[in-house]
């Protein structure tokens, strides 16, 4: 009596055809973090903005807004310094546009946080 043999995935197996068309030749190592320096800086920028938002929610809103504004100013400086090949997600438009809007937004947030008068207690 012949026993059924398990099916093997091989070159003749139709289930393997999609993998052959894609060119799957083995497992590629997963990417753990951002690849470019600009993407790493962008991630740090987002973390700084998140920290500022947490500070705003926690109570001292002026300090939180200053942290967010400083993060934008540092992001603008990073956009100036990082070469074009490594900007990654830090690049939105052209360099001049990115530096202008990030620095303007950062300075405006810091100035507003300092200038707005406090509530009388």
| Cβ–Cβ under 8 Å, residues 119 and 60 | no
Which domain range does residue 72 map to?
37-114
Print pLDDT tens along the chain (121 aa). Answer: 666 666 655 556 565 555 556 655 555 666 666 666 777 888 888 999 999 999 999 988 999 999 999 999 998 998 888 877 776 766 777 888 888 999 999 999 999 999 988 776 6
Q: Assess if residue 69 is contained within a domain.
A: yes
Listed residue (52, 48, 55) closest to 75, CA to CA: 48
Q: Would residue 119 count as lying in a domain? A: no
Q: pTM, whole model, 2 decimals?
A: 0.67
Question: How many domains does the chain divide into?
Answer: 1
């Amino acid at each position: 009596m012949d026993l059924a043999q398990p099916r093997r995935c091989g070159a003749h197996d139709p289930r393997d055809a999609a993998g052959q068309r894609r060119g799957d030749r083995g497992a590629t190592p997963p990417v753990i973090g951002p690849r470019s320096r600009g993407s790493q800086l962008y991630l740090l920028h987002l973390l700084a903005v998140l920290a500022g938002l947490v500070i705003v929610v926690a109570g001292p809103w002026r300090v939180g807004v200053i942290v967010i504004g400083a993060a934008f100013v540092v992001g603008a400086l990073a956009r100036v310094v990082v070469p074009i090949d490594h900007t990654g997600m830090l690049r939105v438009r052209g360099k001049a546009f990115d530096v202008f809007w990030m620095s303007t937004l950062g300075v405006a947030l810091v100035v507003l946080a300092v200038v707005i008068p406090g509530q009388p207690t």
